[in-house]
Structure 1
Amino acid sequence: MQPFHPFVQYPFDQQPEQTTTSRYMVSMFNPVELLRQPVTFPFSGRTAKNRFLKSAMSERLATFSNFDPCGRGQPTEELVRLYETWAKGDIGIIVTGNIQIKKDHLEATGNTIIDKDLPSVYLREWTEVARAAKSQGSLVIGQLSHPGRQVSINIQPYPEAPSDVEQPSIGGVLFGQPMPLTKDGIKDIVNRFAYAAFVLHRAGFDGVQLHVAHGYLLSQFLTTTTNMRTDEYGGSLVNRAQIILETIAAIRQAVQSPSFIISVKLNAQDSAPQGLCIEESIMVAKLLEIAGVDFIEVSGGAYEQNIRSSRDKPYTVETREGYFVEYAEILRSNLDLSKVVATGGFQTSQGMADAVLRGAADIIGLARPLTAEPLLVRDILRGEKNRAKGDKFPESPMLRFVASAAQIAEIGNGQDITDFDNAFHVARFIAKMQKEIPAAISEALFS
């Protein structure tokens, strides 16, 4: 049997079996050495300086006007400060929050926007965001997204989607009846993604990530729950994935740079009736690899759900941390070149290294831990910390999302970050939220 060496990067299909002795040897090594390793991407040839990725979160720090769509989506100095702060954390790859490709189809107010119909694409402002995020050697990736049917009726009463399947109300937020995209409409969407990638490339970004998860537009095309089309964009899985493949090809044509990274955030499964299943995700991942996607970030669930793993709970350190790490491992075992990112639920450096050692992921994605501790990765790599800070919140994923959004705003505004590992701060935050937000949303958050 081939001996196991803990710091050799074996191809997945050549992973030697780990014996009890080899697992003990791994435990004797400092996991930091593994996490510190650089990762080179197969198609662009670019190299991330370590195995950490800051995953996308909706910052909502851009300009917004209810009355003038041309006053929406401009990156602000708060957004620049946010990414300058994360850059100091020594993160290998920094992925921005979801940049919207249409000024009147937004995931939320305060989203950044790159829209070819706006009088300005804010090139100077995006250049400043790229400079800030890359200031300490990180690769910076812009996540591009379109919400499809998942846009509040207050922002867009006439959403566009693959089919006319309405998004159910969530926490008092209402959604309009979507209009099925025409073929010309689909081509327009593809061109908008490509145009946004072109702008980011000009601004100095190292690549883009297509948001094909969490029930947004490209994800809506993949699942038969929301895609009931009978043309070439519906029916078979290959047809349902067609808009994604066309978008990747259009980005390559627009950017004209072989070193520009293209990545995808993909649902491993939707955890919904007739939703995308793991077998279909494997097929999509193989298509993405053929299309030259450098890395796939594995996620799961839809807008109205808060799933974590197939067992609906995170792994323990003794087994595995990470909400989607089992799905990441399955996808990675079916790929030859594209790298796999596992994001969500990681708390300790040992748990992160364990995911890599077991062949479940090439890269570890962190999101909310980096709103509480923007310099967490730096501290882990220096050996100063071996776990992320906890919190004292009750079991409410939505409440944690709101708390992270508040921390993002604090970082962007140069304020002290609220310590939610302090029970007093948690109680004060919950009281404030219950007072300030509408009763229907409050009930959804705190129930």
Structure 2
Amino acid sequence: MSLRRFPNAEIVPTEILGEELKFPNGRTAQNRFLKAAMTERLSTYSPENPKKHGLPTEHILNIYDKWGHGQFGMTLTANVLVDPTNLEAIGNVIIFQEGDSPERRSLYTQWAQKMKQDGSLAIVQLSHAGRQTPIYVNPHPWSASDVQLKTPDNQYGKPIGLTLEQVKTEVIDRFVYAAKFSYECGFDGVELHGAHGYLLSQFTSLTTNKRIDRYGGSLENRNRLILEIYDEIRREISSKDFLIGLKTNSVEFQSEGTTLEDAKELCRAYEKRGFDFVELSGGTAEKFLFNHERESTKKREAFFAEFAEQIRPVFKNTVVYLTGGFRTVGAMVDAIKRDTTQGIGLGRPVTAEPDLPKKILDGSVPSAVKDEFNQNEMGKTIMASCSQIEQMGRKSVEGAGGDVMDQISDFTDGNLVAKYDEAVVEFMREMKEAVTAGRTPKSIIVFN
């Protein structure tokens, strides 16, 4: 397959991208590349049967078999939810005590092994959707307060503000249990998802946190939950080798949302507490700004580069990753040399090309592939990546004859993109029809 790449992208020396990253606990990543977390929505969905609900499937193991041949320094799972009733989407993988079983532990152990087969660190991204749980999954999910997420399609119900006791039992305890489960199944660490409007960021943001107790009001109070989860995980897991990271917003781009100055203050607390790594991103479901608002960010590719550059000096020991927008090797190298970030997070580019870091490091490609989608149609490009992920999972690497690109759609072909546009229209029609009729809608487009 001959993939079209970004014009004017030049092959530049990549030695700096191949350097090891050392974490505060002494562990190292073999290079600077992070396989960022995305949503797969391919687990078993069986809320009436806890032992089967949210199990990883062979499809998911095959996906990470492909990324496991990509030569990443660190590989994140997709959203792994810690509460079986507060999901980001139908088909999320889940870790929860009520669903514990030898089968679940076996599947997670296999998952970790797939991720680590070429030397990558295997990290579970732990998440709780809170008010971003679709209404057809749970009409009244938990949140910091009862502030409803308003979208044009009215997809989200009125959340219930957690009591102080429930913050402990329904949030802290669930994150800690999931972290210990991950450790026992052979993962190298966890990343707490505190960005993009999910529950932890619902606590840190004034947009969603209207509490008047010890978790509300001041920035210190709003950050308390994340720090308490960190502390409890450290108490529960004695091994110093187990990494704890956090995905956090550099900025939220909305009224009362987290500002750059807020983010710097939050990050000072994470550095002081001893987080091993922080992944900087931005936006929420209401303002999910994975595009370029200014020409200056377009030139540097990373959507949040200018914000990250101002936050970066806060960190002395915690390793910083930046995710969102990187496409050319030159921009990746430039971000490292500027000390904007220490690590390069790749999401959508590695659904089109699961072994992109390997190709970059051996000097065979100057960039990711350049698809024909409008990059400011964020929802559509995410859907296309979900479809490519589903395609990745159809066969293992061995079953595909060693071809990690097996069956992945080449969206550099404008005609294929036009066909996908038609599939999106049909998918949205079917989803609306299903929700109206009270049926469970599909979560991804299976595209052939």
Q: State whether TM-score is above 0.5.
A: yes
The change in CA–CA distance for 1:260 and 1:401 in structure 2 (over 3 A counts) is same
Cα deviations across residues 370-413 of structure 1 (Å, max 9, x unaligned)? Answer: 00000111000010001000111134111000000000000011
Identity over the aligned pairs, expressed in percent? 39
Report the 3-state secondary structure (helix = DSSP H, G, I; strand = E; otherwise coil) of the residue aligned with 1:71. coil
Which of residues 219, 222, 230 is equivalent to 2:201? 219
**Aligned residues of 2:320 and 2:343 also touching (Cα < 8 A):** yes
Equivalent position amino acid for 1:156 in 2 = N
Give the number of aligned pairs. Answer: 412
TM-score between both structures, scaled by the size of structure 1: 0.89
1:287 and 2:269 correspond: yes
Report the 3-state secondary structure (helix = DSSP H, G, I; strand = E; otherwise coil) of the residue aligned with 1:287. helix
- Give 2:86's aligned residue: 105
Q: Which of the pair has the greater relative contact order for Cα pairs under 8 Å at 6+ separation? A: 2
Report the 3-state secondary structure (helix = DSSP H, G, I; strand = E; otherwise coil) of the residue aligned with 1:98. strand
The change in CA–CA distance for 1:360 and 1:371 in structure 2 (over 3 A counts) is same
Query: Which runs of no fewer than 5 residues in structure 1 stay unpaired?
Result: 1-26, 443-447
Alpha-carbon distance between aligned partners in 2 of 1:50 and 1:287, rounded to the nearest angstrom: 26
- Give 2:401's aligned residue: none
The change in CA–CA distance for 1:289 and 1:441 in structure 2 (over 3 A counts) is farther
1:338 and 2:318 correspond: yes
Alpha-carbon distance between aligned partners in 2 of 1:309 and 1:118, rounded to the nearest angstrom: 38
Equivalent position amino acid for 2:276 in 1 = D
- Give 1:320's aligned residue: 300
Which of residues 405, 408, 417 is equivalent to 1:417? 408
**Aligned residues of 1:70 and 1:103 also touching (Cα < 8 A):** no
Alpha-carbon distance between aligned partners in 1 of 2:189 and 2:129, rounded to the nearest angstrom: 21
The change in CA–CA distance for 1:427 and 1:310 in structure 2 (over 3 A counts) is closer
The change in CA–CA distance for 1:368 and 1:28 in structure 2 (over 3 A counts) is closer
1:132 and 2:114 correspond: yes
Which of residues 326, 346, 358 is equivalent to 1:366? 346
**Aligned residues of 1:85 and 1:411 also touching (Cα < 8 A):** yes
Residue 173 of structure 1, CA deviation: 4.8
**Aligned residues of 1:99 and 1:142 also touching (Cα < 8 A):** yes
**Aligned residues of 1:308 and 1:314 also touching (Cα < 8 A):** no
Residue 131 of structure 1, CA deviation: 0.4
Residue 66 of structure 1, CA deviation: 5.6
Report the 3-state secondary structure (helix = DSSP H, G, I; strand = E; otherwise coil) of the residue aligned with 1:175. coil
Alpha-carbon distance between aligned partners in 2 of 1:436 and 1:197, rounded to the nearest angstrom: 35
**RMSD across aligned positions (CA):** 1.9
Alpha-carbon distance between aligned partners in 2 of 1:399 and 1:186, rounded to the nearest angstrom: 35
1:379 and 2:370 correspond: no
Alpha-carbon distance between aligned partners in 2 of 1:320 and 1:95, rounded to the nearest angstrom: 24
- Give 2:256's aligned residue: 274
Alpha-carbon distance between aligned partners in 2 of 1:270 and 1:315, rounded to the nearest angstrom: 16
Which of residues 396, 410, 424 is equivalent to 1:433? 424
Alpha-carbon distance between aligned partners in 1 of 2:294 and 2:98, rounded to the nearest angstrom: 42
Query: Which runs of no fewer than 5 residues in structure 2 stay unpaired?
Result: 1-8, 396-405, 434-448
Alpha-carbon distance between aligned partners in 1 of 2:43 and 2:10, rounded to the nearest angstrom: 46
Which of residues 71, 83, 92 is equivalent to 1:90? 71
The change in CA–CA distance for 1:29 and 1:116 in structure 2 (over 3 A counts) is same
Residue 104 of structure 1, CA deviation: 1.2
**Aligned residues of 1:265 and 1:297 also touching (Cα < 8 A):** yes
Report the 3-state secondary structure (helix = DSSP H, G, I; strand = E; otherwise coil) of the residue aligned with 2:157. coil
Cα deviations across residues 351-379 of structure 1 (Å, max 9, x unaligned)? Answer: 10000000100000000000000011100
- Give 2:3's aligned residue: none
**Aligned residues of 1:90 and 1:138 also touching (Cα < 8 A):** yes
- Give 1:40's aligned residue: 22
TM-score between both structures, scaled by the size of structure 2: 0.88
1:61 and 2:42 correspond: yes
Alpha-carbon distance between aligned partners in 1 of 2:154 and 2:208, rounded to the nearest angstrom: 19
